[in-house]
Each structure stands twice: as C-alpha cells, then as structure tokens.
Amino acid sequence: MARSNSSLVRGPGTSLWPWLAWAVVILLADQFTKTLILGYYRLGDATTITSFFNIVRAHNTGAAFSFLADAGGWQRWLFTGIGVAATVFIVWQLRAHPGQKLFCFALSSILGGAVGNVVDRLMHGYVVDFLDFHWAGYHFPAFNIADAGITVGAACLILDELLRVRNAR
C-alpha cells in the first residue's frame, strides 16, 4: 500500500508508540465497559436511557450484524484468526507509516477495537454488546466500544484515502 509523505499528514519525529497507546486506550475502555455490563446485567437485561438509546446485555457469536452467529461454533476461531491477522497487518502498517496522522489514527482505532473483540471471543466465546440505539420501533444491532473504534477507524481510512487522492492531483 503506497502512502503519501505529504507534510499535511506527516509530522516530524513521529513514532509507533502514540498509535499503539491510542489502540490500548480503546482496548481498555472497551474491556472496562464490557466488565461492567457482565457484572451488573444478565443476558437480555436492558435499561432505558433515552427515548432512542438503551443499555442492554447481548452476546454476539458472529461478526458484524450477527453474521454467522448460528454457524455452530467454528466461526469463533475464524473471527479470532481474522482479528489476529488484522492485528499483525495493522502493526506492520503503523511501523511503516507512523507519521501519517489520519491514516495511523484510523488504523490504531481499528486495532484497539479488533483486539477488544478478539479478547471477548477468547475469554467468553462471544462478543459482549451493550449499546442499543433505536428509532420508531427499529433497533440498530447492539454494539460496543470496540465496534465503535472499528467504525470510526474505517470512516477515517476512507477520508484519508479521499484526501490522499485529492492531494495527488
């Protein structure tokens, strides 16, 4: 993956460590909130916070939107393996491009989220979800801090690519 060395996205004297620290912040926030949910909620419990938001306890044995949730158990190891492979690839990219701020912010956000969900799969066999947004009877699938990190990271990767292409013109 070729990356731009534009001064717009590259800071002087940058290193890998701030990006790994951001991933650890996401991982710790994710695991802390999941520990609270596991400690105070039983599966299916919910607390109404606003007219469009609940805290719930849900378990997801699949991937995003419960993809392959009913596959029989093998998906736990598939998604764990994908998470481990993504971790290795992301750390490699962070080492190669530590000064590209938006790119590395995106990757480290994804890294923290991916590791958070891998920890859940290894410890519990499922991912703990608890953020439940809803509107007019429709509930968006419950998610967690790790999922939010992955989503923000993916959006920032798209933005980074759009800016890189625009700056290349």
Residues designated catalytic? 129, 147
Strand 46-50 vs strand 138-139: parallel, antiparallel, or unpaired?
A: unpaired
What are the two backbone dihedrals, phi and then psi, of residue 45, each rounded to the nearest 5 degrees? -65, 150
Give the DSSP letter string of 33-98.
HHHHHHHH--TT-EEEEETTEEEEEEEESSSGGGTTTTS-SHHHHHHHHHHHHHHHHHHHHHHH-T
* Amino acid, single-letter form, for residue 93: Q
